[in-house]
Amino acid sequence: MPVRQWATPFVSALGWFFGVAVVGTALWEGYKAFGQLTGDVFPGTDINLPVSTDDLAMPHTWSIAASLIEPVQRGVDISLGSYLVQQAMVTLQESFAGLLLGTLVGVLLAVVFLWFGAVRQGLMPWVVASQTVPLVAIAPMVVVWGGQLGLPAGITVAAISAYLAFFPIVINMLRGLQSPPTIQVDLMRSIAASNGQSLRMLRFPAALPYLFAGLRVAATASVIGAIVGELSAGTGNGIGRVILNFTYYYSSGPEKLYAAVLVASLAGIVFVQFIHLAEGLLLRRRPRS
């Protein structure tokens, strides 16, 4: 693929990213200035603004940015920004492991559902129901089971991440496997192709765009699952644990918590862009038709 075809969408996406960041910053500071000017009430009324604009509830964006270059704590040379990046990398590793596990489970289930309609009708409602259970209820149980099995905390967190990641993979992959036109399926049958051959030569290639669409959703879900898993597993590392620790000291340093949340969000964006890049590399020679 020519460099220009890669560069143009990337530059466009980068421009939109920074544009939204600038607009968001302007809205944040504008709301804060408005609230401080009116005493946190709507002008001419006694109705309070939805969110207080004091520095504890809404620190200035430049205060959040400045905290990133300050030491993470007294007596420590590492800056808060470097520390958060290190912890985010731990979370991304757990998210990646969870995404791999969730993808494996999701693809296998999709194939089983494709070949066995009765199994699909029996299990699909339970697959859907699994996503209605709050993750904060599931995570502690998975942590306990992992502890009884002697599994490291990182594997337990990856399992919790996979729990959220597998669902969009199942749904999108099954739809992709069912997407080939009937005439192509009949053609495979006419040459006596087995189910495995039909899957490998026709259905799986047709399902790849659907799979990557599911992966983009699953990547975001896996990061959320990893962060929640870190909160429940009591791990010493990970951006989720950092967010929890900074919550305890919010009143003395709200900027740190906002910075941690910002880095966690950026980690999710980077992970999704990694999936998008992999999709472009693998599907760039795929015929458009």
Q: What is the pLDDT of residues 189-237, one digit of tens each?
A: 888 888 888 888 889 999 999 999 999 999 999 999 999 999 888 777 8
Residues 210 and 83: beta-carbon distance below 8 Å: no
Torsion of CA 201, 276, 226, 228, to 10 degrees: -120
Which residues of the chain are under the pLDDT cut of 50?
A: 1, 289
Both structure tokens of 191: 């040459």
The single-letter code of the amino acid at 238 is: G
Q: Which of 27, 18, 32, 4 is nearest to 254 (CA)?
A: 32
Q: Write down the pLDDT at residue 285.
A: 66
Q: Write down the pLDDT at residue 138.
A: 87
Q: Which of 95, 96, 91 is nearest to 240 (CA)?
A: 91
Residues 161 and 102: beta-carbon distance below 8 Å: yes
What is residue 79's three-state secondary structure?
Answer: strand
Both structure tokens of 166: 């597998």
Q: What gap in Å lies between CA 48 and CA 8, rounded to an integer?
A: 46
Name all contacts of 193-197 with Cβ < 8 Å and 24+ positions apart. 195/115
Both structure tokens of 31: 């709301």
Q: What gap in Å lies between CA 218 and CA 98, rounded to an integer?
A: 10
Planar angle of CA 163, 168, 172, nearest 5 degrees: 145
Tally of CA atoms within 13 A in the half-sphere of 6 that contains its CB: 10
Beta-carbon contacts of 25 under 8 Å, excluding residues fewer than 6 positions away, are 61
- Alpha-helical (H) ranges within the chain are 3-38, 61-67, 80-115, 117-130, 135-148, 153-177, 182-190, 195-198, 204-233, 239-248, 254-283
Both structure tokens of 169: 């993979």
DSSP 17-58: HHHHHHHHHHHHHHHHHHHHHHTSB-TTS-PBPSS--STTTS
